[in-house]
Structure 1
Amino acid sequence: MPELLFLLLPLAALYGYIMGRNSYRQAQLKQHEKINQDFLSGLNLLLNNQRDKAINVLIENLEVNNETFTTHIALGKLFRAKGENDRAIKIHQFLAKQDVLTPEQRRESIIQLARDYIDCALYDRAEQLLLPLLSEEKCDREARVMLSQIYQVFKDWQKAFDAIEPLEPKDGEACDTTKAYLLCEIASSETSDATKLGMLHQAIQYKNDCARAYLDLIDHYLLNQQIDHAQDLCHKFAKNCASYIALLIPILEKVFTDENQRLAFLLEVSSSIKSSSVTAAISQIYEKQNKNTEARKSVLATLEKHATISGFANLLKLNANKIDSSDSRQMMLNLEKMVVTKIQQLPNYECDQCGYQGSLLFWQCPRCKHWGSVKPIIGLTGD
């Protein structure tokens, strides 16, 4: 009999293990069933546009764990994308208070809550959340970029620059572009010439085609009668900032006071850049020199390769000067005036990031807030 009991002991242990395992599985299944029921209940409320009730169901009944964390985050992002920031804040605030989160999950919930606050213009709250994250390497970059965005809203250019200055370039981020244009903003209020020049040259190091830095440097050298430096920068501007070439035309008379020297520069530029503004400046010089044929040829040559309405208007004016009949000449000039009037009603600049258009140049797009993305319009209705 004792031998039989001894043999039954392993069977009893196995039976206990199986029963315990089944009991654990049943508890897990019940838990998953409850989670699914709560999630489906919340989803049903969402589909019926009862968003506040849906959020309450998810927050009160859906336990936060590795499986449901991403659901909460995704739902908060969805509300924020739809402009329902109050609901996004409620979800992300709930997440940030949970003790069961891993450090990485807690950082993610804080970052998302800060984004909610920024979208609601609650910048002080966002700043309070982000500043402690600067000491955490895994989210340091994201926190710095967001802090810089906050400081840019208040035009605190120095703090905005300091926030992102340590960041190295990364694919998909215009960090160096932002640094360059922020330095230009800081330099604009700098009283020390040496410091100002240093900042503008550093801006060009960050972004070789930083149009504002070149233009500000040219203005500085003109103001200080350093014409050689200004001329050298004009050549660099034409090489590196071709899409902004129209901005250079109005100041060329100050940089190249000699007409022939200015013409030589414009002809050099026109050989590599197709621009109605450049061609118009060339034709004006030819007209002053009574070389109307050369003026017409230059405009026609540009129109053949780069047709624009402004170029057509310039050609109308040049053709009018060739007409002997005063009535016909006046008719042609009236037509040119009508075209010019229409051009003046069109936007001059466009953001290559969001498509914003306007008649004024902004170094930072007023819509999408990208730096250096608003440029002169190129094409039929532009330069």
Structure 2
Amino acid sequence: MLEWLFLLLPVAAAYGWFMGSNSERQKALKGKASVSKNLASGLNFLLTDQEDKAIEQLLQLLDIEVATIDTYLALANLFRRRGDWDKAIRIHEKLCQQKLPKPQAQKIRFELAKDYFHAGLYDRAEPLLADLVQAESIREAVIKQLFQLYLATHEWHKGLDFRAVVEQTDSRSLRIGLANFQCEAWQQQPDTNAEQFQQLAERYPQALRPRYEAARRYLDQGQGSAARPLLLSILQQRPQWAAELLPLVAQSQPAASDWQALLTQLSQKNKNITATSMLAEAYLLQQLPEQAEKLLTDKLKQQPNIRLFQKFIQLRLRQSEGEVAAQLSQIEQMVQAYLETKVLYHCRNCGFKTKQPYWLCPSCKQWETVEPLPGIDGR
């Protein structure tokens, strides 16, 4: 009899293992079925526009299935894009309570900070973002979001506190943003001098504004020779800004030969409309109307442009009298009326169009992205 008991022991052990594993499998299947049921229920609430119930149902799944976090992040971002800040915040706050790997937890906190920012809860967003500045994987995005926050509150000095962190990155846009933050801060200090802006320009050569501000102050002080190289460096970097910068270069009183050489280079090499128009005017001042007319006609054949056409009409108008002059004057006025309806600038980042220049795009909030428009109406 004892022999039979010893023989049955392995059978009993095998049966116990089978029943135990089967029980665990049943529990897993029940858990998955519960997840599927809750998920289906949550999606059904979404489809029937019962979003509050949907969120409650879906958030219950977080205690069971952490692997679906990316789905929740996508859902929260959808709510944020729609302007449902409170729903996005609830999801991200729930996700922050989960035990997750550090990079994933940092990403979720960053998303929560963006929710607070878009909801106007700056006092909640700022400490979250400040804590995340040291997170290397998202550092640049975090600083950009902080700059957006300080831009909204006009707290330029707070942005300047992150100078050392910005200079640790390779971000060109952050350096341009930081330079503009300093310019904005100095705009509130009337005693800021040209030398300070020039030092800022040397520290951040990617930015245009410090050089421009330094040049304007040098011109106000009658120091044209100090302003000129700053303006010429901007022209070399951004020749499309000639319409705004050439009048300032002229104000710095360059030598006649240097001035004509600059206009010729911008006209021929960069095909700049304003430079061509000013070069034609220079020829007229030298009593060379034929050369001015040839310049304009050649350029119009190569590069059709309404403003050059207007300049050509103005040139002919000077040489005409009587009825011909009256007709040309009428045409010139119609061209001018047309040009007054056209926008002059656009943002190369978002396409925003405007009649006046901005250092900061009013649409996408990026610094130094608003530029003169090219094309048949361009300058």
Report deviation, 1:53. Answer: 1.9
1:311 lines up with 2:312 in the alignment: no
Deviations 1:272-310 (A, max 9, x none): 211211111112222222221121222223323322211
Residue number in structure 2 paired with 1:342: 338
- The Cα shift of 1:64 comes to 5.5
- Counterpart residue number, 2:63: 63
Give the aligned partner of residue 33 of structure 2: 33
TM-score (norm 2): 0.90
Give the aligned CA root-mean-square deviation in angstroms: 2.4
CA contact (8 A) 1:149 1:160 kept: no
Per mean C-alpha deviation after superposition, the further-off stretch among 269-278 and 2-11 is 2-11
For residues 3-53 of structure 1, give each alpha carbon's deviation from its aligned partner in whole angstroms, at most 9, with x where no partner exists.
443343333223222221121111111111111111111111212222222
More divergent stretch after superposition (128-137 vs 51-60): 128-137
Q: Is the partner of 2:63 in helix, strand or coil?
A: coil
The DSSP-based 3-state class of the residue aligned with 1:365 is coil
8 Å CA contact retained: 1:309, 1:381 = yes
Task: State the alpha-carbon separation in 1 of the partners of residues 187 and 178 from structure 2.
Answer: 14
Matched, 1:379 2:375: yes
User: Taking structure 1 as reference, are residues 219 and 94 closer, same or farther at Cα in structure 2, changes over 3 Å only?
Assistant: same
Residue aligning to 1:44: 44
Q: What are the equivalent positions in structure 2 for 1:285-324 lying under 5 Å apart?
A: 285-323=282-320
C-alpha contact 1:127 1:147 (8 A) present in aligned 2: yes
Aligned match of 1:333 in 329, 332, 346? 329
1:91 and 1:74 map into 2 onto residues whose CA distance is 10
**Aligned-partner SS, 2:375:** coil
1:313 is aligned with what amino acid?
Q
* Contact map agreement 1:352 1:375 (CA 8 A) in 2: yes
Tell me the distance in 1 between the aligned counterparts of 2:116 and 2:234. Answer: 40
Q: Which residue of 1 aligns with 2:269?
A: 272
- Provide the secondary structure at the position in 1 that maps to 2:371: strand
- 1:234 match: 231
1:180-259 matched pairs, under 5 angstroms:
180-189=179-188, 191=191, 193=193, 194-204=195-205, 207=206, 210-259=207-256
**Aligned 8 A contact 1:148 1:164 in 2:** no
Measure the CA separation in 1 of the matches of 2:129 and 2:306: 50
Q: CA deviation at 1:69?
A: 1.7
SS in 2 for 1:360: coil
- Report the CA distance shift for 1:199/1:85 in structure 2 as closer, same or farther (over 3 A): same
**Take 2:153 and 2:220, find their aligned partners in 1: how far apart are those partners?**
30
Aligned-partner Cα distance in 1 for 2:342–2:24: 72
Cα 1:376/1:45, change in 2 over 3 Å? same
- SS of match in other structure, 1:375: strand
Shift of the alpha carbon at 1:61? 5.1
Q: Does residue 1:365 correspond to 2:372, yes or no?
A: no
- TM-score normalized by structure 1? 0.89
Partner amino acid, structure 2, of 1:351: C
- Note if contact 1:365-1:373 (Cα within 8 Å) is conserved in structure 2: yes
Identity within the alignment, %: 30
**Are the equivalent residues in 1 in contact too, given 2:42–2:55 (CA < 8 A)?**
yes
More deviation in 36-45 or 98-107?
98-107
| Conserved 8 A contact 2:346-2:370 | yes
Corresponding residue of 2:102: 103
Structure 2: gaps of 5 or more residues: none
- Check conservation: 2:267, 2:273, Cα contact below 8 A: no
Q: Letter of the 1:125 partner, please give it.
A: R
Task: Tell whether the 8 Å contact from 2:140 to 2:169 is kept in structure 1 after alignment.
Answer: no
> Residue 166 of structure 1 aligns to a residue in which SS?
helix
Q: Is the 8 A contact 1:65 1:100 kept in 2?
A: no
Range with greater deviation from structure 2 (368-377 or 229-238):
229-238
Distance in 1 separating the partners of 2:29 and 2:133: 42
Aligned residues: 376
Q: For the residues of structure 2 that align with 1:10 and 1:225, how far apart are their CA atoms?
A: 104
Rounded Cα–Cα distance in structure 1 between residues aligned with 2:235 and 2:138: 40
Amino acid at match of 2:24: Y
Which stretch shifts more, 137-146 or 73-82?
137-146
Unpaired runs of at least 5, structure 1: none
Q: What code does the residue aligned with 2:319 have?
A: K
Q: Deviations over 1:174-200 (max 9, x none)?
A: 323323333433444553544332112
Deviations 1:285-342 (A, max 9, x none): 222222211212222233233222111111121223333x411111112111111121
Distance 1:306 1:175 in 2: 37
In terms of mean alpha carbon deviation, does 1-10 or 71-80 score higher? 1-10
